[in-house]
Amino acid sequence: MILIRQPFFITMKEELKQQLITLADKYENSDFIIADPSQFLYHYKEPKDAETASFVAALLSFGNRKQFIPKIKEIFSLADKAGGFAKWLTSSSFESDFKSPDGNPDKKFYRFYSYEDLLILFRSLLKILKESNSLGEHFKNLFEKNIRSDKNKSLAEIISDSFPECTIVPKGKSTPNKRIQMYLRWMVRKNSPVDLGLWNWYSPSKLLIPLDTHVLQQAKNLGLIPENSTASLKTAVIITEKLKEIWPDDPCKGDFALFGLGVNSKNTTGETT
């Protein structure tokens, strides 16, 4: 397939639209989850477990898949012994289960995050589950409260702000917040063989594309954004707006086209950041 490149400032050509549609249809299928962190969406059947476990999986989904996927599986295996992810948290079993081999909480669990960093996240999730029936209900209440207060925060910002003590939860108003945006895609998009679509209270049309290195590079290659574009919130917004020319009600369907094309390109390293 020869990809059509065009200046980012003009309406997308029909040839490129059709190519992106073809690519999205090609990659958005059940086989996509085999090597992708979205595989963890289906580890639990109960929505309460799936929401919480997927959130943790999303936060650890950066770097090399061969490194972070085993780390996520390690956490899930501990939760499974307690009867599910939500129960593992609400019973506080994680406090005794999740320990470094030498008992040092400051030892790194994955990349620059320590066992203590993950424990702080688990304690924050425990607090939320004690206050609300589920993680989704908690974020829904905060989102509706935000609308009533006219603060105009995005849902991604609301989620980030819910974890002020957690270094592992991405923050910053100018960053693309890729891991949170990916989590939102998982929870919101419906009728997908990949995404769960558990949150009926939020519209897929409001989602922002999870911007990683693959999506950024392919968007440049196709002329959707300028060559000097950086991994910023502004760039994520521009790409999402371009994808709305094809999928106005579901722009993140285009994530499968750009990400799938990127990870299957020559010399890919398996990195996702």
pLDDT in tens, the chain (273 residues): 444 445 555 578 899 999 999 999 999 999 999 999 999 999 999 999 999 999 999 999 999 999 999 999 999 999 999 999 999 999 999 999 999 999 999 999 999 999 999 999 999 999 999 999 999 999 999 999 998 887 789 999 999 999 999 999 998 888 899 999 999 999 999 999 999 999 999 999 999 999 998 899 999 999 999 999 999 999 999 999 999 999 999 999 999 999 888 776 644 444 555
- The dihedral region occupied by 78, where left means phi > 0, alpha psi between -120 and 50, and beta the remainder, is alpha
Query: Which residues 6+ apart lie within 8 Å of 259 measured at CB?
Result: 27, 210, 212, 214, 215, 218
Separation CA 113–CA 221 (nearest Å): 33
* Closest-CA residue to 198 (of 238, 251, 140, 114): 140
Q: Is the pTM of this model over 0.85?
A: yes
Helix (H, G, I), strand (E, B) or coil at 109: strand
* Closest-CA residue to 210 (of 231, 181, 188, 238): 181
Supply 92's token pair: 């506080």
Strand 113-114, strand 108-110: pairing: antiparallel
Q: How far is CA 16 from the centre of its chain?
A: 26
